[in-house]
Amino acid sequence: MAGAYRLPEITLTADDVRAGGMVLATRVSRAESFNAVRGQFVSPENDWQADDFPAVTSDVYRAEDGGDGVWRDLSLPFTISSSAAQRLAKIELERARRQMCLRLAGKLSAWAAAVGETVMLDYARWGFAAKPFEVQSVSLDLTASGDGAALLPELMLRETSPLVYDWDASEEAIYAAAPRTTLPSAFDVPPPGVPEVQEELYVTRDGAGVKALARLSWTAAPSGFVSQYQIEARSAGAEDWLDQGRTDATALDIRDIAPGAWEFRVKALSVLGVSSEWRETSAEILGLSAPPAQLQGLTLQTTGGLAILKWQRSPDADVRLGGNIVIRHSAEATPSWAASYSMDRVSGNEAIAVLPLKPGAYLLRAEDSGGRLGAMVSVATAGAQALAFAPLTHLEAAPQFSGTHAGTATRDGALTLGAAAMLDDWPDVDAVASFDWEGGVVPEGIYSFAAGIDFGVVTRARLRSVIAVAGFAVFDRIDARAAPLDAWEDFDGAEGAEVDVVMEFRETDDDPGGTPTWSGWSRVDGHEIEARAVEARAILRTADAAFAPRVSALGLHADGVS
């Protein structure tokens, strides 16, 4: 019969069915269901060889099957038209999606339905009103009755629709004939993909330390004849390429590479020694000159007057080997590195530090083996403790700073470092950039408090330092700035300042008014003592003579348990 919809001429009703003689299956098994059809036909454009016709798919049916593509392979050895193959594939798909099957035990009147014909079925109980079914098979059923035995038909029906055979020319996909041969040429080697470059640091096994490597990777050349790849590199601007070796993989590490601009290229080689074209790229290798990555996962826990800082270990090898984690503290509402003072410096391989608990922010930066600092990360705390303390007494140096200066000076109500050069040593007064700091500032100075603390008797107390510091450029003058005001990093010129302030104290159990025996000087951030008296001093430092610390608050507080 022709592949077309046949108009039903017979209508079956409940009157044509024996009692209890209909069994309905609404869906076929998943193993028999599919939502896409692909296959082959005989192609005149391919020398009458079998070739794939454009697959027939349906997004609607695929969605009905939960988004999974289920294929049916269809072989059409007697079809020589791509259009006809696609039409047959669509018929196969549409017929399969009409999944309702019905076994009908009919009376003698059902004999009128023949295999291959289309019949209508009216059955109100199931909501069927002139629903078309295709007769797939008819068998004989020997049934006993009051008048003897009778051969009655049993029909297998499957739902159908005129849409099964519906076709429009716009549905046809363009068919491109397969090439005459699929064998590649051994003398035509396609190139690999353009290489990508990733820089990494690694620790040498011979104890030479941390070095840089360039990791090249590329996509494989699309040819089965390719046996290996050749890689070359050169510094940008150099004339000669340097051979970096060959590999049968799609990646290669160039170890101990020097920092700078580099060019890289890779080509494929066939088993016959035929080369492809080169694929080139360029990259900047930073090596050990690259600053460390910002530390991640910084957290803060407080307990018993201690701050426990934890972070993820630095990913940089030159931080873990020979580097440090620099920790500073700032009491400012908006903390910055230049407006902070040092707290600790731990090994770069560490991921935890225990420090005295102080209100404000803890600032951390990774420092590599070459002294380069990474980006800052911070965490803040109010410094609250479960154990309550009451103030006993305190020392305050600001704003007079009337104590003893050794390399320090007071300027505009703040403590700072003194000038590096004396007035008599100035070679040319007219060339002086700053009359306050000709030649910059001294690298270190000590300020000793004018008086200490005398508790009267040996007392247990907690000492805590209070410091407010900011860095500034001593030669930076607003009148000399050429950049617009909105472009200034800051008004104080503190960008890049590496300044520090450390508070120290010493204690004694003797009367400080007599001839006491003092302990050695010790750093104090948060410290518990049992002593009669204490004295305090501050050490100011700078890593660059062009920058100086500006200490606006400096104090030592003594608290007792309330």
- CATH number of the domain that 350 lies in? 2.60.40.10
Taking only the tens place, the pLDDT of each residue in 165-195 is 888 888 888 777 765 556 677 788 999 999 9
Same domain as 156, residue 75 = yes
Same domain as 396, residue 488 = yes
pLDDT of residue 208: 60
Same domain as 53, residue 24 = yes
Same domain as 150, residue 107 = yes
Q: How far apart are CA 426 and CA 475, in angstroms?
A: 16
pLDDT of residue 352: 94
Tell me if 216 is assigned to some domain: yes
Residue 470 in tokens: 């900011």
Residues 6+ apart with CB under 8 A from 41: 50, 51, 53, 76, 77, 79, 80, 81, 82, 84, 85
DSSP code, position 373: B
Same domain as 492, residue 441 = yes
Question: Is residue 318 very low, low, confident or very high in pLDDT (cuts 50, 70, 90)?
Answer: confident
Residue 348 has pLDDT above 70, yes or no: yes
Its pTM stands at 0.53
Q: Are 96 and 35 in contact (CB under 8 A)?
A: no
Q: How far apart are CA 48 and CA 50, in angstroms?
A: 7
Residue 418 in tokens: 């003194």
Residue 83 has pLDDT above 50, yes or no: yes
For the segment 147-157, the average pLDDT, to the nearest whole number, is 79
Collapse the DSSP code of 129 into the 3-class scheme (helix H, G, I; strand E, B; otherwise coil) and give the result.
strand
DSSP 480-548: G--S-GGG-S-TT--TT--EEEEEEEEEESS-TTS-------EE-SEEEEEEEEEEEEEEEEESSTTEE
Question: Is residue 384 very low, low, confident or very high in pLDDT (cuts 50, 70, 90)?
Answer: confident
Find residue 547's DSSP bridge partners: 473
Question: Is residue 305 very low, low, confident or very high in pLDDT (cuts 50, 70, 90)?
Answer: confident
Q: Are 407 and 445 in contact (CB under 8 A)?
A: yes
DSSP 42-78: EEGGGTTEEEEPPPEE-HHHHHHTTT---EEEEEETT
The residue segments making up the domain with residue 496 are 389-561
For the segment 33-43, the average pLDDT, to the nearest whole number, is 91
Residue 438 has pLDDT above 60, yes or no: no
pLDDT of residue 207: 59
Residue 433 has pLDDT above 70, yes or no: no
Question: Is residue 497 very low, low, confident or very high in pLDDT (cuts 50, 70, 90)?
Answer: confident
Same domain as 323, residue 267 = no
How many angstroms from the chain centroid is the CA of residue 360?
30
Find residue 411's DSSP bridge partners: 414
Place of tokens 């922010």: 361
pLDDT of residue 481: 46
Tell me if 182 is assigned to some domain: no
For the segment 324-336, the average pLDDT, to the nearest whole number, is 90
Taking only the tens place, the pLDDT of each residue in 281-290 is 999 888 777 8
Last residue of a domain, one of 381, 406, 428: 381
Q: Are 57 and 35 in contact (CB under 8 A)?
A: yes
* The length of the chain, given as a count of residues: 562
pLDDT of residue 556: 93
- CATH number of the domain that 426 lies in? 2.60.120
Residue 135 in tokens: 């007769």
Residues 6+ apart with CB under 8 A from 70: 33, 34, 35, 36
Q: Are 540 and 445 in contact (CB under 8 A)?
A: yes
Last residue of a domain, one of 103, 136, 170: 170
For the segment 200-214, the average pLDDT, to the nearest whole number, is 77
Q: How far apart are CA 254 and CA 220, in angstroms?
A: 19
pLDDT of residue 289: 77
Same domain as 394, residue 366 = no
For the segment 11-26, the average pLDDT, to the nearest whole number, is 87
DSSP code, position 116: T
Q: Which amino acid, residue 180?
A: R
Sign of CA dihedral 240, 244, 245, 249: negative
Last residue of a domain, one of 381, 402, 432: 381
Averaged pLDDT of the chain: 86
How many angstroms from the chain centroid is the CA of residue 94?
46
Question: Is residue 558 very low, low, confident or very high in pLDDT (cuts 50, 70, 90)?
Answer: very high
Total domains in the fold of the chain? 4
Q: How far apart are CA 276 and CA 270, in angstroms?
A: 8
Tell me if 101 is assigned to some domain: yes
Residue 518: CB atoms within 10 A of its CB come to: 14
* Weakest mean pLDDT among 43-57, 140-154, 280-294: 140-154
Tell me if 184 is assigned to some domain: no
Residue 432 has pLDDT above 50, yes or no: no
Tell me if 440 is assigned to some domain: yes
Same domain as 396, residue 528 = yes
Tell me if 175 is assigned to some domain: no
CA distances from 85 to 45, 74, 80, 211 (A): 14, 9, 8, 63
Same domain as 346, residue 321 = yes
Q: Are 456 and 531 in contact (CB under 8 A)?
A: no
For the segment 325-337, the average pLDDT, to the nearest whole number, is 89
pLDDT of residue 426: 43
Question: Is residue 451 very low, low, confident or very high in pLDDT (cuts 50, 70, 90)?
Answer: very high
Residue 253 has pLDDT above 60, yes or no: yes
pLDDT of residue 480: 47
Same domain as 112, residue 86 = yes
Same domain as 339, residue 419 = no
Tell me if 191 is assigned to some domain: no
Taking only the tens place, the pLDDT of each residue in 396-411 is 999 999 999 999 999 8
pLDDT of residue 484: 62
For the segment 71-88, the average pLDDT, to the nearest whole number, is 92
Same domain as 48, residue 118 = yes
* Weakest mean pLDDT among 135-139, 140-144, 222-226, 341-345: 140-144
Tell me if 270 is assigned to some domain: yes
